[in-house]
């Protein structure tokens, strides 16, 4: 019999190793505030140097249209 997975996201790790994960998480809580500053600085750089390339899109309908030769994109 399989165990039901009731958690999502990071909660999966909390459920699997509750004691180990919480100990690890709280032992490293001091990293959260400095990492917020690093991420904020990176996000500000996106204003100065915006992303110039369109992200890839893998739409199955578009792929099939291109393969069949009827795609005009």
| 45 CB-near residues (< 8 Å, 6+ apart) | none
Per-residue model confidence (pLDDT) at position 44:
93
Which DSSP category does 30 fall into?
G
Under-50 pLDDT residues of the chain: 71
Per-residue model confidence (pLDDT) at position 72:
54
Per-residue model confidence (pLDDT) at position 43:
92
Q: Can you give the C-alpha Rg of the chain in angstroms? A: 22
Residue range 29-45, pLDDT digits in tens: 899 889 999 999 999 99
Per-residue model confidence (pLDDT) at position 45:
92
Per-residue model confidence (pLDDT) at position 2:
74
Q: How far apart are CA 12 and CA 7, in angstroms?
A: 5
C-beta of residue 7 within 8 angstroms of C-beta of residue 14? yes
To which residue do tokens 């917020």 refer? 36
């Amino acid at each position: 019999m399989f165990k039901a997975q009731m958690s999502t996201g990071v909660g999966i790790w909390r459920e699997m190793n509750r004691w180990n994960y919480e100990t690890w998480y709280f032992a490293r809580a001091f990293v959260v505030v400095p990492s917020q500053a690093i991420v904020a600085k990176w996000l500000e750089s996106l204003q100065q140097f915006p992303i110039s390339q369109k992200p890839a899109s893998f739409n199955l309908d578009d792929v099939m249209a291109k393969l069949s030769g009827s795609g005009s994109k």
